[in-house]
Structure 1
Amino acid sequence: MRKLLLQAVLLAFLGLGLIFQPLSAAKSTILYKDQVAVIIYHHIDDDAKSGGTITAQLLKDQLTYLKSKGYQFITLKQFKAYMEGAPVPNNAVLVTFDDGYESFYVNAYPLLKQMRVPAVNFVITGDLDNPLASYIPSMSRDDIMEMTSDTNFTEFQCHSHHFHYKLPGGGAALVSRLVKDGVKETEEQYKQRVVSDTKACVGALSELYTEPVDSYAYPFGIYDKPAMEHIRQGGIKYAFTVVPEMATREVDRMQIPRIDAGNSGVSPERLHQAILRRVVTPMPPTSEVPLAETVGAIGGKVTQSHDGTVQIGFGAHNWSGAAGSTKLTAPDGRTLALHKPLTWKNNKIFITLKDLEQAVGGQIVYNPNVQSFALRQTIDTKP
C-alpha cells in the first residue's frame, strides 16, 4: 500500500512538472528587453460589429496566448517609471483601452481581474454625467470607483473631456480652430479651449481615485505640435498615439506609440507576430550602416557611382556626397557637417547612424526579427 502511495505521489509530481515546465520555459524566453509593447483596444462586445470591436473570447485568447509566449503585463505606473529610467521586465506589455465604454466594465474588467492583467482605460470624462446617452454606453463614476477600489492594477486616464468629435469639415476637435458666426477663433482662444478641456478631464478623474492623472490618449489618434503643448499645460506628462511601434525611452513622452490589438482580424498569433515585427535593437550612434540599403529600407533612394559619389533622396531631403567627405550638400548649396567621413567598403558607401538621422530628419531603429531598418513615425517637435 505504501509503495502504491509513493508511486502515486511520484506520478503526481512528474505530472506537475510537465504542466509547469512549459510555463517556466515561456517565462524565461526573451523576445525583447528594455522596451514595451503598448497594445490598444476599444470596444469589447460579443454582438457589435465594427473595426474597433472584438469579442470577450478573442480578448481572452489573445492575453492567454501572450502569457504562454512569455510576455509580462505591466501597470501604467511601471510603464511611467520605465520611461523615466527604471528597469522593466523582459517582454513587457502595457494593455490600454480607449473611450471609457461600459463594455470595459461589463466584459473586459472581469477577465482582466481573473487573469490579473493590468490595464489603463482612457476615458471621455464628459460622458460621465450621462453615461447611457452616448452612442455606445459609457462607464459611470460608480463603475470606475468600484474597479479602482477592487484592484490596484486598473487605471483610468484622459481621452479628453469634450473633444471626442469631429467638425463638419472632418477635422478633429483637438487640433481644429472653431468657427462661430463666421469668425475663426484666435490662437489664444484655441489654446485656452484645449488647456481648459484637459484640466476638466484631469479634474474629473482625480475626484474618483488617488493615482496621478497625467496621461492622455489623443482622440482619433490625431494631434500636432500646438495640441501637444496645450495638453501638457493642462497637466499631461505622457500622451499616447496610434502609431504602431514599440515604446522605448527614446520616444517623445507626448508621442508614445501603441500597437492595435482590438480588431476582429487580429488573432492571438497575429498579435504576437505584430509585436515581434516592431521590436527594436539599440545601436550606438557611431555605428556605421550601409547607406543605400538603410535609406531604401526607410522609403528613400540612393544613387551610387563607382567613383564613390552618392545622391540621397528621402522625402523633401536631398543630399549629395562622396567617399571620404565630411559633409553632405543640398541642391540649394546648404551643407550638413558629418561627425565621421563617408566610408567606402566592399563597393558600398557607409555612414554613421547619427549622421544619417540628421540627413533624413528622424530617428532610425533596427528590427532584428525582420533584419531591417525603420524610421520612427513621430512628428518633429524641434523649433
Structure 2
Amino acid sequence: MTPLGKTQGGVLSSRQIQAMVETGAIRAAAPLAHGQIQPASLDLRLGAKAYRVRASFLPGNGRGVGDILSALAYDEMSLEGEGAILERGCVYVVPLMEGLALAPAVSGAANPKSSTGRLDIFTRLITDRGERFDDVEPGYSGPLYAEVSPRSFSVRVRKGSRLNQLRFRARPQAGQGGFALSDAALAEIHGRTPLVDGPLNLRDGVVLRVALGSTAFGGVIGYRAQKHTDVIDVDRIGAYRIDDYWDRLPARDGRLILDPGDFYILASRERLAIPPGLAAEMAPMDAAIGEFRVHYAGFFDPGFGAGDRGSPAARAVLEVRSREVPFILEDGQFIGRLVYERMAETPEALYGEEGVSNYQGQGLKLSKHFRVE
C-alpha cells in the first residue's frame, strides 16, 4: 500500500464501504447490486415510490422528510415494475433503498452520478433533520431521500435506478489537517505522479480550462440539449441516437456563446489522472469568473483517467448552463477546478478495473445512454 493509503482519515474505500454494509452502518432494503460499490463511493438506489412536490425543501432541525411528505399530501407514484416517467421541469422526492447508521467520526457527501449529470437531471440527497443538501452529518442515523428534477429531458426511472452516489469520509486524526489537499501538496504529488498532461495550474485545487479549439474533438466542441424530445429511460444503455436529443456544436474561432437556460456538454482542455491514493471532486464554480456555472459537481474516483504507467489520459466532461445573460466562452478559459482528498486507504480495485466503468479514458462524451454511430 502506498504512503498515501496509510492515513487514517480521508475518503473511505470500497473495502471499507463493504465493511459498513456488513456491520449495519449501511442498511439496504435489498442486497446490494453488482457494481453498486465503487472504488470510493456507493451508488444509491431509488425506492418503490416517488412523490411529486410543488417545490424543493429542506426539513431542517427536528423534522423528518417523511413527516413533511405525509403532512402536505403530495402526489404519490409507484416505481415498481416498469416504473414511472418523471416530467421535465417537475420536482420529485424519492425514498432511497439505502439508509445509514454512521459512526460519530464518519460523514457523507453526495453527488449525481456522471450519467445523471450528463442527462441534466438535478439530483440532491436529503436526510432527516438536514439543513443542507447532499451533506450527511457525522453519526447520522436514518433514511435517505433523493430530490429529483429533470431539467432538459423527461426520464423513466424505476425501483433500483441509480441517480446519485454517496462518498464517506472518516474524520482526520489530530495533526492531519482537513480533507482537501493544499496547492503545495498537489504540486509535490504532481512532481511524482502527474495529475494533468500539461502545466499544473493551481487555485485552491487543480484548474481546468475548456477545450473549444477546432482540433480538440474532430471539429465538434460540444453538445447542446434539444428542448423537445422523447423520454429517456435511465436504465437503457446505448439505446438512443445522439441527434434525436442533442445539437452538435461545431468549432468556430475558439468561441462559444452560451444562451441563458440552455444546457451544454463540453470538455476540459487538460487530460487528467487521479492517483490510486487520492479522490477528487469538481468544485462549485465561483460566479465572479463569469455568467455561467458548471451545473453539477462530480466525483472522480482513484484510478480515473490513468493511461499507460498512470499517465493522464481522460478529460473532465463539463455540464454547463448559462445564467441570466448570454456569455462568451473562449478556448482555454478557466471553467472549473478539481479539489483533491486523500483516501483513508488505497482501494483494492481502481476505477475501471472491474468492468463497470463507462467513462475511463473519455474525451468529449455524452452519457452512456447514447450510442456511437
TM-score using structure 2 length:
0.22
Q: Tell me which protein shows more strand as a share of its residues.
A: 2
- Structure with the greater relative contact order (CA < 8 A, sep ≥ 6): 1 or 2? 2
Max Rg structure: 1
